[in-house]
Amino acid sequence: MLALEGISKYYEGHGAEAINALEALSLRFAGGSFVVIVGSNGSGKSTLLNLIAGSERVASGRILLDGEDITAQPEHQRAARIGRVFQNPFRGTVPDMTVEENLALAARRGRSFDLGFALTRELRDEIHARLADLGIGLEARMTQPVAALSGGQRQIVTMLMATWERPRVLLLDEHTAALDPQSADLVLQITGQIVNTGNLTVLMVTHSMQQAVHFGDRLVMLHRGRLALDISGSEKNRAQPGELIHRFEELRRAELLDETVGILLKEQYV
């Protein structure tokens, strides 16, 4: 169970004005749930993931993981229980190290990196088995540098690294956005395979309305740092991409109206 209790985050804007990235957002994610998060640029999606991962700190509010307050924990302390995959396939892996070396590092996530031999025979066997389970032939490329893999393959290795030690939460930050459609499909398919194992809470940020309706059991839409839509169960299953886009347009129109009113007021009074 991951709980966000009234978390806020501000950034320095141009001038004295602070920009609200997130405003008193409260959400609870049950263990084992697969939540899709959508929202336009600047809606606070990425900020939300950064705050959960600990790469940024909240201005106010609390973050609880399985009842424990982790608000003050730095990123590397949370890493044992929170895995993350970024949009950029180059961010999650070490390119000049081999696939098995990368996974050997992941196998020590959140534990000490001591002077024990990194790639023991048992670990190598386990890496081989888990790669073979994916069914895309990566087990034959264990000793190749990750740099030699395609973007999609790299994301799959990153995903395996992020979930190797069975974290409580997996953050997917538009992890297919930089891939060609075919690779994106493959990565999503593997995402499904990995996610279905264990009591893992998955938060997937995406720009694709197709992904948003076809994946997950709950859909959260953010707008300007606030919750705009939160549907799950049968309501989520009925949702169509068109409806979501319609909902986006509505939000944008409401905003345009606000701005027009502002300009009118300015013209009359300034």
b/e map of 43-69 (b: 16 or more CB within 10 Å)? bbbbbbbbbbbbebebbebebebeeee
| Burial class (CB within 10 angstroms; exposed 0-12, middle 13-18, buried 19+) of 78 | buried
Contact present, 54 and 73 (Cβ < 8 Å): yes
Piece of 20-28, 64-72, 74-82, 221-229 that binds another protein (CB under 8 A):
74-82
Tokens 């299953």, residue located: 237
178 interacts with another protein by CB under 8 A: no
Q: Which is nearer to another protein, 109 or 247 (CB)?
A: 109
Residue 214 binds another protein (CB under 8 A): no
- Which residue of 1, 24, 94, 228 would you call a contact of another protein, by CB under 8 A? 94
Q: How far apart are CA 120 and CA 204, in angstroms?
A: 33
Residue 92 in the binding site for another protein (CB under 8 A): yes
**Nearest in space to 204 (alpha carbons), one of 192, 9, 149:** 192
Closest to another protein by CB, 72 or 256 = 72
User: Min. distance of Cβ 143 from another protein in angstroms?
Assistant: 9
Q: Figure out which of the listed residues 56, 75, 133, 217 binds another protein, where binding follows CB under 8 A.
A: 75
Which positions from 124 through 163 interact with another protein, judged by CB under 8 A? Answer: 162
**Min CB(199)–another protein separation in Å:** 21
**CA–CA separation, 40 vs 43, rounded Å?**
5
Assess 80 for contact with another protein (CB under 8 A): yes
Residues that bind another protein (CB under 8 A): 55, 75-80, 83-84, 90-97, 101, 104-106, 108-119, 162
